[in-house]
Amino acid sequence: MDIIRPIFSAEDLAQMPDDGKRYEVLEGDLAVSPSPKPQHQRIVLHCANFFQTLELQGLGQVFTAPLDVVFDHHNVVEPDVLFVCQDHLDIVTDANIQGSPDVVVEVLSPSTRDRDLGVKVHLYARFGVREYWIVDPDNQTLMVYRWTADGYHPWGPYTRHETITSPLFPDHPLAVAALFR
Domain that holds residue 93: 36-180
The reply to whether the predicted model has a pTM over 0.85 is yes
Residues near 69 by beta carbon (within 8 Å), at least 6 away in sequence = 76, 77, 78, 79, 82, 96, 97, 99, 100, 101, 104
CATH number at residue 172: 3.90.1570.10
Can you give the pLDDT of all 181 residues of the chain as single tens digits? Answer: 677 677 899 999 888 888 888 899 999 999 999 888 999 999 999 999 999 999 999 999 999 999 999 999 999 999 999 999 999 999 999 999 999 999 999 999 999 999 999 999 999 999 999 999 999 999 999 999 999 888 899 999 999 999 999 999 999 999 999 999 8
Structurally, the chain folds into a number of domains equal to: 1
Residue 6 within a domain: no
Residue 135 within a domain: yes
Pick the closest to residue 9 from 30, 34, 36, 35 (CA basis): 30
Length of the chain: 181
Helix (H) or strand (E) holding 152: strand 151-159
